């Protein structure tokens, strides 16, 4: 009986985790951005004519922003490791700091471009 109580308590505490909402996959975002509907791993288009030009541009921008975001994170991590391993060399620290700054500035510019493109396409 003593073993059953912890097992039941553990199962009860894990059960709510199954209902946690996970982030959408890039495929699902692309499908929904192109005007389709995501049905359990497959994309179904809503119209017989296919996605519109603005939906295709939005989907492309979403994918590019995803790639830019991952690239910026990778650059920041690598530059951080270079900064840590610089052994006090001021030139190496300066290069690593500049890489981090440029990655973050690039990410901000990409986010602003994304917002601008979506604003313009929504106005059409």
Residue 3 lies in a domain: no
Q: How far apart are CA 70 and CA 72, in angstroms?
A: 5
pLDDT tens readout for residues 8-48: 444 444 444 444 445 777 777 777 777 777 777 777 665 55
Residue 51 lies in a domain: yes
Residue 61 lies in a domain: yes
Residue 8 lies in a domain: no
Query: Residue 3 above 80 pLDDT?
Result: no
Residue 1 lies in a domain: no
Please tell me the pTM assigned to this model: 0.55
Task: Please tell me the total count of domains within the chain.
Answer: 1
Residue 12 lies in a domain: no
Query: Residue 123 above 70 pLDDT?
Result: yes
Domain that holds residue 67: 23-123
Residue 5 lies in a domain: no
Report yes or no: 114 and 61 within 8 Å, Cβ to Cβ.
Answer: yes
Average the pLDDT over each of 27-36, 41-50, 69-78, 113-122 and give the range with the smallest value. Answer: 41-50
Q: Residue 5: helix, strand or coil by DSSP?
A: helix
Residue 17 lies in a domain: no
Cβ neighbours, 10 Å, residue 42: 10
SS (H, E, C) 59-114: HHHHHHHHHHHHHHHHHHHHHHHHHHCCCCCHHHHHHHHHHHHHHHHHHHHHHHHH
Helix (H) or strand (E) holding 36: strand 36-39
Cβ neighbours, 10 Å, residue 2: 5
């Amino acid at each position: 009986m003593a073993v059953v109580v912890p097992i039941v308590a553990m199962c009860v505490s894990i059960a709510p985790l199954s209902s946690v909402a996970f982030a959408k996959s890039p495929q699902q975002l692309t499908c929904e951005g192109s005007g389709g509907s995501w049905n359990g791993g497959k994309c179904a288009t809503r119209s017989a004519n296919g996605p519109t030009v603005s939906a295709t541009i939005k989907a492309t921008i979403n994918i590019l922003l995803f790639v830019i975001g991952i690239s910026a994170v990778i650059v920041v991590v690598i530059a951080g490791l270079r900064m840590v391993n610089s052994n006090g060399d001021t030139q190496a620290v300066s290069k690593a700091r500049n890489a981090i700054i440029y990655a973050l500035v690039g990410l901000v510019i990409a986010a602003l471009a994304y917002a601008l493109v979506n604003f313009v396409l929504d106005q059409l």
